[in-house]
Amino acid sequence: MSLKIGITCYPTVGGSGIVATELGKRLAEKGHEIHFITSSLPFRLQRVYPNIRFHEVKVNQYQVFQYPPYDLTLASKMADVVNMYDLDILHVHYAIPHAVSAALAKDMSGGRVKVMTTLHGTDITVLAYDPSLQNIIRYGIDRSDKVTGVSHFLIEQTREQLGISRPMEPIHNFVPPNVTLAHDQQALRQGYGIDNDEDVIVHMSNFRPVKRVEDVIRAFKLIRRERKSKLLLIGDGPERHSLEKLVHECSLEQDVLFLGSQNQIYELLALADLMLLLSEKESFGLTALEAMAVGVPVVGTDVGGIPEVINDRETGLICPVYDYEAAALAALAILRDEAMHQRMASAAKARAFSKFNSDTIVAEYEQLYAEMLNGY
Ligand code: GMT
């Protein structure tokens, strides 16, 4: 059955926006009518889909408002779109404000539309610790018809942190069933000045303090002592300047490449022999999965949902958070042993496609949509 689905997310760079956009695209390909109700066009949309519409949420600035009321404008826009296009479902990504705006929109539009909220992480692992926000997050979750979280860890955390007992379903993030690379990888390596005998380590994030990119650079410094290698840093964010300073202090300018935010991430990830993801908080770790999808093993920390993505000793290695020396040793163990590296690279790709394949995961969402519409 073809459904009319409104999707709201943070459309700028970030895992939750990527997952929401990719989900919208897959659902559109399966014949559903998708309406993105967001503050700007989701950045991963990239091509035209006749059955995807975009509804921009624009907050007008009136002097009377000390703070622009984005949440209310969003709710009002959601209600408009529900009424105008007769939506079956509002699927919102991130509890606040999106789940709360959706609850209001549902009330405003007569209560028929169903609301699904997908929790992604910082809405729970950071914001739910703030007493001034706990009630509103709990409200958004309780008023949703279905709630999903991107890892078992996140569901547990939500229960513990907010004392929520309602059913919540873990649905993991996903990657496409096959990733095709457009560029000649050898030419790309040369373009970046990577010699044939060099290892390539990659890290990709939004360079926020929780990502511990500093640990990535310190671990790389230790790896670099033993092996000729380059570190590709993909992404941008508040710590970039201080990280560039750190690279300078470590005299690593020749070997650490800041690539900034990028769109063609699979082309870049595929250049790497290994990914480092050393976060102190991570409800899932989409970047690790994206690396695995192109056969790159990952050294990740033992936090949040990372161990649900990386199978320790099979598709990479798990090391203690804040211990960049342990991360460097783990990376060296993989890089030194060609057979182990090959085995982990193949296992990473196989796991990405068997367990986190978009076909399977999107079908899980569709199953929940059907249950929700049937009143389960
Ligand atoms: O990690 C971030 O800072 C961005 C954040 C977001 O809201 O997009 O990512 C969260 O959602 C991603 C997609 O589900 C997950 O892969 C990330 O692990 C999660 N981030 C955190 O939990 C810190």
Give the residue, out of 38, 92, 120, with the most ligand 1 atoms within 8 A of its beta carbon, to mutate for a pocket test: 120
3-state SS assignment for residue 143: coil
Whole-number Å distance, alpha carbon 11 to ligand 1 midpoint, is 13
Whole-number Å distance, alpha carbon 63 to ligand 1 midpoint, is 34
Q: Which residues pair with 115 in a beta bridge?
A: 90
ipTM over 0.85: yes
SS (HEC) of 63-88: CCCCCCCHHHHHHHHHHHHHHHHCCC
- Please tell me the predicted confidence (pLDDT) of residue 128: 67
Domains of the chain, by residue range, sit at: 4-174+357-373, 185-355
Q: Which atom of ligand 1 is nearest to the CA of 210?
A: 23
Q: 0.80 cut: is pTM over it?
A: yes
Whole-number Å distance, alpha carbon 319 to ligand 1 midpoint, is 20
Mean predicted lDDT score pLDDT of the chain = 95
Taking residues 363-370, what's their average pLDDT?
98
Q: Which atom of ligand 1 is nearest to the CA of 123?
A: 7
pLDDT at 182 over 90: no
CATH no. of 4-174+357-373: 3.40.50.2000
Domain 185-355 in CATH 3.40.640.10: no
Give nearest CA residue, ligand 1 atom 23.
282
Taking residues 342-346, what's their average pLDDT?
98
Q: Which atom of ligand 1 is nearest to the CA of 14?
A: 8
Instruction: Average the pLDDT over each of 45-49, 82-86, 146-150, 245-249 and give the range with the smallest value.
Output: 45-49
**CA–CA dist 292, 315 (Å, integer):** 8
pLDDT at 124 over 90: no
Whole-number Å distance, alpha carbon 283 to ligand 1 midpoint, is 6
Q: Which atom of ligand 1 is nearest to the CA of 121?
A: 22
Which residues have C-beta atoms less than 6 Å from ligand 1?
Answer: 14-16, 19, 120-122, 125, 150, 173, 206, 208, 210, 281-286
**Domains 4-174+357-373 and 185-355 in one fold:** yes
pLDDT at 78 over 70: yes
- pLDDT per residue over 85-115, tens digit each? 999 999 999 998 999 999 999 999 999 999 9
pLDDT band at 68 (very low <50, low <70, confident <90, very high): confident
Residue 334 contacts residue 340 (beta carbons within 8 Å):
yes
Q: Which atom of ligand 1 is nearest to the CA of 281?
A: 23
For CA atoms 1, 149, 278, 19, give the dihedral sign: positive
pLDDT at 206 over 90: yes
Which candidate, 291, 313, 294, 290, places its Cα nearest to that of 302? Answer: 313
Residue 47 or 253, more confident? 253
Residue 63 or 50, more confident? 50
Residue type, 11: P
pLDDT band at 131 (very low <50, low <70, confident <90, very high): confident
- What percentage of the chain exceeds 90 in pLDDT? 86
3-state helix, strand, coil split of the chain in percent (to 5) is 45, 15, 35
Whole-number Å distance, alpha carbon 301 to ligand 1 midpoint, is 15
pLDDT band at 316 (very low <50, low <70, confident <90, very high): very high
- Please tell me the predicted confidence (pLDDT) of residue 356: 98
Taking residues 35-39, what's their average pLDDT?
96
- Please tell me the predicted confidence (pLDDT) of residue 357: 96
Look up residue 175 and give its DSSP letter.
B
Whole-number Å distance, alpha carbon 339 to ligand 1 midpoint, is 32
pLDDT band at 358 (very low <50, low <70, confident <90, very high): very high
pLDDT at 123 over 80: no
